[in-house]
Amino acid sequence: MGCGMGKSELHAFFFSPESSAIRAALLIQRWYRQYAARLEMRRRCTWKIFQSIEYAGEQDQIKVSSHRNLISHIFRKNEFCHDTEWERYFCYKSIEVTESYTGPHLTFPMTFCGVSKLVEAFKHKQQLHARYVLQLLGETWRLLRIFPNISRISTYHNKQITICGDLHGQLEDLLLIFYKNGLPSSEKPYVFNGDFVDRGKNSLEILLILFGFLLVYPNDVHLNRGNHEDHIVNLRYGFTKEVLGKYRVHGKKILKILQKIFSWLPLATVIDNKVLIVHGGISDTTDLDAIARPTKHAVSGSKTQTINNREACGPVEGRRRVCSLTYYSSGPAHRHALPRRSLHNAHMRSQLNWSLEKELKKRRRLAGFDQSYGELKTSDSDSDPESGETTETDVGEWKQIVDVLWSDPMAQNGCIPNEVRGGGCYWGPDVTEEVLGRHNLQLLIRSHECKQDGYEFCHNRRVLTIFSASNYYEVGSNRGAYIRMGPDLVPHFIQYQASRTCRELTLRQRYNVGWTERSALRALREQLFVHKSDLISAFQEFDPNNKGMISLRHWASATERVLNLGLPWRLLRPQHVSSTQYGMVDYQHCKILIKLSLPFQISDNSILETMYKNHSNLETIFRIIDTDHSGLISFEEFRQTWKLLSSHLQTEISDKAIADLAQSIDFNKDGVIDINEFMEAFRLVDISAHT
């Protein structure tokens, strides 16, 4: 009667070779989907670990930078003076280029041929002579002083503009971009969107190349300032150390002129009055007219200077010049005010006695920061924005710049302080629509965040993030990318991975998340090790009977409360604690698999933990106190370092404990401490890698 199959036919179908193949295919499909889902979950978790630890470091940097006693004695307020006096201080003519020098020789004015030779020299690991470095930087400073805060450029005919994101000292990425896309020229304009320096090993080389092309093509090479173009941030993230290591004699002068150059970099670029390019982003108070508007911190003599088609922007009457975005004089409260507590305003001012203040003044003189500039008369035409009385307008302008350089987009509507980074804000799609609409813009291009594919759209494709440093967290962790944009203003993406190691990986290795996952977990174990005492105390709050066991829920909440990284701790539990029994966690036997191997003995464990927690800050202060850049500091300098750090941490460390520590790490008993040996001692050893 019916058209269905009988029992015998059904039996024959289900047990036929064709049916077995279909069932096998379904099983394989189900297995693959489950595997792909687990792999994606691991990949996202790995990415979250890397990003959370990075942002926590930036937040800590801002907290350190806000401590006036720790930073202000290094970069003083009287550093800005008449242009002629600056040029006399940075004069390169007395620096001799010896016959033994085998690097590139530069001639000025710079030419395309000269910059091309510089690129080839850096490609072959050659170092530019200090004379040429200072000369090139001096020419760059003179040029940048007449640029507006916002560069306005246009596409015409078939001319395409190339837009690059963060490079972070990774010269190999820049060279690959030039190889694939061509060198900058009048026919191939570029926009480099900040964060040229820090973290990578070749930040200075990248700057010299970009500044060289800027001098040759001032209308076709555009450099936006990033949040890492800041001398305070450079102290922590490697650029200061890189410059002083490469130029031991003239490194301090190079850093000083770079400090000035960073303060004069443009803050934004606008293409065809439709596409806005800034490093970080925007906020609900962002006003491009206010950012572009000249301020009282103008440079005399630049009021009528323009360059070719930059005249379309109008006369450059002056420029906002903020030297550090992480250190600013106190002013009126603001919604985006960075959380900071200054000892200048606190009762703890009394903790630093007169002898310490006197010693700090002496150190400033010895370091040359006061001595070199104290003889120079300050000028109203190039005054320091951090000096004198601050007004509400000053603070408002500073907040505008911080938001532009530090902010990140979020999926939700609104605008809230960026407490993860410690600076700027999170802004939502509604803010994007309002700000772009108010300025008649159609697209916002920003950088500032590492993306796995090198780029990412959000906010209904009206915000585009571009990141050009490939393998940023680890080899294979992410691709780099850059944008080509023609007159239609449609972005086209070119992706790449510059690391030779990554290119040599097999296809299976390249797409195996385990490679980067292991690196992320090791970085997380370091965080657990650093906060071990705090974690144990937090766990014991949930263990009143001191049994060493707490629930998984309590373990996860306590860990997050201490580390504040926003990670899925339940998912990460198998990697860090022993297996649970009846939903309980044995917190006393955590699988940290990390140890600190010190070549010296320290009796006070609290000092040991403080040392490792703050070893980045310690190294920063050590590098500055080491006035002759010999890599050696005296016991007294070591004591001053600890006094500064303890005032920042608001903890008391006795002189005896500091003296005992200095004696312990003076390995050869010559009365001085080797900074590099001291910092090397704080490298954590992954026990799992040796078992």
Q: Which residues are catalytic?
A: 228
Closest C-alpha to 250, from 634, 628, 637: 628
The DSSP letter of residue 166 is: B
Q: What are the distances in angstroms from CA 92 to CA 95, 126, 135, 136, 207?
A: 6, 20, 6, 10, 18
Residue 299 to residue 263: CA distance in whole angstroms: 12
Which residue bears the tokens 């300032």?
Answer: 225
For residue 585, report the phi and psi dihedrals to the nearest 5 degrees: -120, 130
Name 634's Cβ contacts closer than 8 Å, sequence gap at least 6: 671, 672, 673
CA distance 47 to 520: 8
Residue that has been written with the tokens 């936006």 in this structure? 224
Residue 537: CB atoms within 10 Å = 12
3-state SS, 78-118, equals CCCECHHHHHHHCCCCCCCCCCCCCCCCCCCCCCHHHHHHH
E strands along 325-462, which residues? 408-409, 415-417, 425-427, 443-446, 455-458
Residues 6+ apart with CB under 8 A from 118: 104, 106, 128, 208, 209, 212
- Look up residue 407 and give its amino acid: S
Tokens of 54: 């990075």
